[in-house]
Amino acid sequence: MKPRNINAPERNTTAGEQKEFVPIIPEDGLQAVQIGLLVDLGSHKKQPKFAKTNSGDREQDEEGNDKIIWPKPDAVEQKIACYVDLLDQTHDYEGDIGVKNIRLPLHPVNRGMSDGLNFTTVAPRDPKTNAYIKGRAWVLASTSQFYKIANVVKYEDGKKVGEVIFSPEYKNPKLNDIGQLVGKPFMFDVNVKVEKRDDKTYVNTKLKSPVPLLKSMTPPEALIKALSVNFDDDDILEEKEELGGVAKFDLLRMADVRKIVLAEEYQGSKMQAAVVERNGEDGEKEIINKAKEILSKIQESDKDLIEIRTKFPNGKPEDGEAAVETPKVAKAAAPKKPQAPQEQEDFQDSPF
């Protein structure tokens, strides 16, 4: 899987046959894991955003105005869903799936739709002068989760994957190929928080600080084959014994499918054919409408985006054009609340 230039007991998006969702609570702590599933979520239109420092503060120009990063009109960004398997922890998902490793999303999920991890490359620059280095290929940013993981997982010969896929030669056949990360063991610090509210149990997990396996460790093999799913895979609907008798498409969560149907390259793809095959044309329309509804709610709750759109209702301003003045209303800081998990309906057919 390279930058574009990427569980179900029943069929993954069948509506109306939901059973009560019971949250899975994994044990926390530093433990052996692997990337079990990468899903290409497609390319999505970039939105303007405030330029911010590493600490999250807004950067300002010489006149004291907040800097805004304006994408080009046709600019898009590729998104990847990344799922991590806990190699020492299993769960009985019942049905055709049975006992499998607990699978957790490394990417953010918002209102029942996968946001994914950014999958874009950056220009090669001198670390001291920040000057562009000619003759070297663009690679994934060193701050990305993929870059960090690539530098702790190894091939069988002991060489780090990062040394191969981020070697900046244009003729490097594995340049930025994060598919090389799939199925290789390493360790994550798994943080688990459980809260009960309104007779419901909320489980929030965070995966922190990837590190290499301890030399003395030999983790058990995963109970299902690790793989990546791309838009135009020829075998996306082919049922395979190594996948527990299901097809690649059946390993996708509804949260992934909702993001996928909004992608720029969705129409006419083999992924679209799979969505229609599993759900029918009416089912596909329902998924698309729900995805658009979720996206609208996400953008309506994005305070930075709302502020930018309010100040510049016509988009990127021309030179000398001033922002629209908006009244400032002081608001009390809202108390922090634990992040709610994905909607229960999103887990009805997604055991991993």
How open is the CA angle 75-78-79, to the nearest 5 degrees? 135
Query: CA 278 to CA 29: how far, in whole Å?
Result: 38
As given in the structure block, the two tokens for residue 313 are 């209702």
Task: Give me the residue spans of the domains in the chain.
Answer: 29-315
- Residue 315 burial by CB count (10 A; 0-12/13-18/19+): exposed, middle or buried? exposed
Q: Could you list the pLDDT tens digit for every one of the 352 residues in the chain?
A: 766 653 333 334 443 343 455 678 999 999 999 999 999 999 999 999 999 998 889 999 988 899 999 999 899 999 999 999 999 999 987 776 788 999 999 999 999 999 999 998 999 888 889 899 888 999 999 999 999 999 999 999 999 999 999 998 889 999 999 999 999 999 999 999 999 888 888 889 999 999 999 888 899 999 989 999 999 999 999 999 888 888 999 999 999 999 999 999 999 999 999 999 999 999 999 999 999 999 999 999 999 999 999 999 988 887 655 555 544 433 334 434 434 444 444 444 444 5
- Residue 17 burial by CB count (10 A; 0-12/13-18/19+): exposed, middle or buried? exposed
3-state secondary structure string across the chain: CCCCCCCCCCCCCCCCCCCCCCCCCCCCEEEEEEEEEEEEEEEEECCCEECECCCCCECECCCCCECEECCCCCCEEEEEEEEEEEEEEEEECCCCCCEEEEEEECCCEECCEECCEECCEECCECCCCCCECCCCCCEECCCCHHHHHHCCCECCCCCEHHHHHCCCCCCCCCCCCHHHHECCCEEEEEEEEEEEECCEEEEEEEEEEEECCCCCCCCCCCCCCCEEECCCCCCCCCCEHHHCCECHHHHCCHHHHHHHCCCCCCCCCHHHHHHHHHHHHHHHHHHHHHHHHHHHHHHHCCHHHHHHHHHCCCCCCCCCCCCCCCCCCCCCCCCCCCCCCCCHHHHCCCCC
Side-chain half-sphere CA neighbours of 309 within 13 A? 9
Would you say 79 and 41 are in contact if contact means Cβ atoms under 8 Å apart? yes
Query: CA 150 to CA 139: how far, in whole Å?
Result: 12
Tell me the pTM: 0.84
As given in the structure block, the two tokens for residue 36 are 């079990």
- Residue 48 burial by CB count (10 A; 0-12/13-18/19+): exposed, middle or buried? middle
